A and B are shown apart, each in its own frame.
Chain A
């Protein structure tokens, strides 16, 4: 009994180092993709990269819950009572995002005024500041 406990802990430390390295690498890939996405014009490629980032996010979540929180080594029934209820999120995400998109399309179709407002360009904050300071200067003169 004593022996198995010690052996288990020895593996534990190795496992922690392995998972830390995996999490670090996944985060670095995520950040690299984030940097690559900056200023990218191709919308399809952007969406693909966002999809990859979400997959990386979920694998990070798997490593944290499975190894750091030790869920992978628990009894299967316990894993099921926690993971199965959370599966409802799959439906939540599809249903709510689809609904949000539909709401946007309906607004844009039936509320042309709002649609027009949302296509109006605004000046950059720094430009606004400069204009304001010019106005103040004029007023002072």
Chain B
């Protein structure tokens, strides 16, 4: 009976006394921070697209990204290494969701295990990126230098390498910050900070950041490696 009356009375979200968005302040602000970060990455990617549309010819990504660790110099395996990187990031995002859910259920051990897996995934992704940067650098690519010719065999501009290193570098820095944040979360969990607080809301905020890093990679991966 009581439930039907509660449903009949319309909820007054903005009458005060509670959060109209039904989220904690810190989580709301994390959302708005991520929105601003989305604008930064969006600006980078649109600048890349604009330059690509304004340039005659562009290098073929399948010719540039065709190697993987321990492969010979003339290896031709496009998309293979980067798809591994993509799956590493997706899986680390899944373990982060599991850590958040374990936190909501106050299961400390599950939080620790899933956070550890997420950190490992982040480190694995960073190692892959470090290898790729190192490999491209030794092929002669860097800011202001582009050894790769255009897909039609003409001389290319440095636009490709400039945008590639800037955008994947900025994303890699986000991954690095995410790993640091997750390590802090792990230490706070292990020292029972959240148990004493009675909630694991901090993990949810770190989780939002980590998923955002995965989200950005979806866009970077498509824009640089696929199309």
**Which A positions have Cβ atoms within 8 angstroms of B?**
9, 12-13, 16, 20, 23-24, 27, 30-31, 33-35, 38, 50, 53-54, 57, 60-61, 64-65, 68-69, 74-75, 77-78, 81-82, 85-86, 89, 92-93, 96-97, 99-101, 103-104, 107-108, 115, 117-122, 124-125
Contacts and interface: CB of A to CB of B under 8 A. Distances in A.
A57 B222 contact: yes
Contacts of A74: 21-23
B93 interface: yes
Interface residues of B, number: 55
A27 B217 CA distance: 12
B50 A96 contact: yes
B35 A86 contact: yes
Given A78-B23, A100-B54, A124 B149 contact: yes
Interface in B13-67: 13, 20-23, 28, 31-32, 35, 38-39, 42, 46-47, 49-57, 62
Nearest to B55: A104
B153 A121 contact: yes
A54 B49 CA distance: 13
A96 B46 contact: yes
21 contacts: A9-B101, A13-B101, A16-B97, A16-B101, A50-B226, A57-B218, A61-B218, A64-B214, A64-B215, A64-B218, A68-B94, A68-B97, A77-B13, A78-B28, A82-B32, A97-B49, A100-B49, A100-B54, A108-B56, A120-B154, A122-B153
Interface of B: 13, 20-23, 28, 31-32, 35, 38-39, 42, 46-47, 49-57, 62, 78-79, 83, 86-87, 90, 93-94, 96-98, 101, 104-105, 147, 149, 153-155, 207-208, 211-212, 214-215, 218-219, 222, 225-227
Given A86-B35, A93-B46, A24 B90 contact: yes
Main secondary structure of the interface of B (DSSP, over half): helix
A24 B83 CA distance: 11
Contact of A69 (B49, B94, B211, B218): B211
B93 A64 contact: yes
